[in-house]
Copies of this chain bind each other. A is one copy, B any other.
């Protein structure tokens, strides 16, 4: 697959096609954001808000004229003006809701994670392929100006070969009952890695360390280690108990190293022309390599200018463009599966005290 950021929709829809009629399912935490963006976008039209709690659906939909608020998903799926469904329910119900929508011939946008497990996610991917509808993951961060730019820089070779990645996402977060901190926070980091890394660069194994020092019944502090070929390592740190909020990702490359500090709006991305080079490692035998001379680069740092743009508008632009053109979304079902693959491996590693757990080799699918 060779989809470039440049070909991603949403920046230059010239001829405005008919808006896509959308129902948002789930009026909890994320649903209202989807509703607001579907209303604002010229490419979409909000038809209905669905929630088990019809009052909640109504309060989210209510301010907007003519939008249906209901708890009756089946009725909404039977409505031909609904072309697409955005699923913002808890992950445990993604399979049921999205399957029903796919069966009804609707295009589907699913909040992260794609499903409660890999098998469920795979079922959705295959059902969507069989039915010929678009299945897209709402990996929102991938549609921020910062992450789009990081993708360009990484895949465009500006950083050189990737050598290490360190990603920190910690906060005084909402401790959850049924989902540990990996499943809650790491999907962001993993979907970003999936989005920015070049073709063929993907971890082969995972190990995880977690702790629940407050007795919450779930890991509240977690470290996820990803092993790549060529002795490349990535780590994702997640924590619900940090009084300080940190969202910082460092991507070390053979040419440059990029630091993304998402909480520094004045300088989100810094690209450092600094690093360590091994002098001619290719020319040396294995024993000589230990004696090889290391050199250091110490060049300028560049912080690229970034436009302001709400990520969910980009999500909807990509979704509607794929619906209208038949194109595969950049964050398609396979990307959601790759995230689930790592999350399941992390859970298995946690069960076995941090054992290294290999990832499924075969499901890189069409996406990478």
A198 smallest CB distance to B (angstroms): 15
A292 interface hit (Cβ, 8 Å):
yes
A28 interface hit (Cβ, 8 Å):
no
Q: Enumerate A175-228 residues with CB–CB distance to B below 8 Å.
A: 175, 177-178, 207, 209-218, 220-221, 223, 225, 227
Name A's interface SS: strand
A303 smallest CB distance to B (angstroms): 4
Stretch at the interface among A15-23, A111-119, A239-247: A239-247
A71 smallest CB distance to B (angstroms): 22
Contact of A243 among B64, B263, B274 (CB under 8 A): B274
Please tell me how many copies of the chain the complex holds.
4
Interface bits A266-302 vs B (CB < 8 Å: 1, else 0): 1100101111111001000000011110101011111
A residues contacting B by CB (< 8 A) are 39, 63-65, 161, 163-164, 166, 172, 175, 177-178, 207, 209-218, 220-221, 223, 225, 227, 230-233, 235, 237, 239-245, 250, 252, 254, 257, 259, 263, 266-267, 270, 272-278, 281, 289-292, 294, 296, 298-305, 353-356
A-B contact pairs, 19 of them (CB 8 A): A161-B213, A175-B276, A175-B294, A177-B290, A207-B209, A209-B235, A213-B233, A214-B278, A214-B294, A217-B289, A221-B233, A243-B259, A244-B250, A244-B266, A245-B266, A273-B305, A299-B305, A354-B355, A354-B356
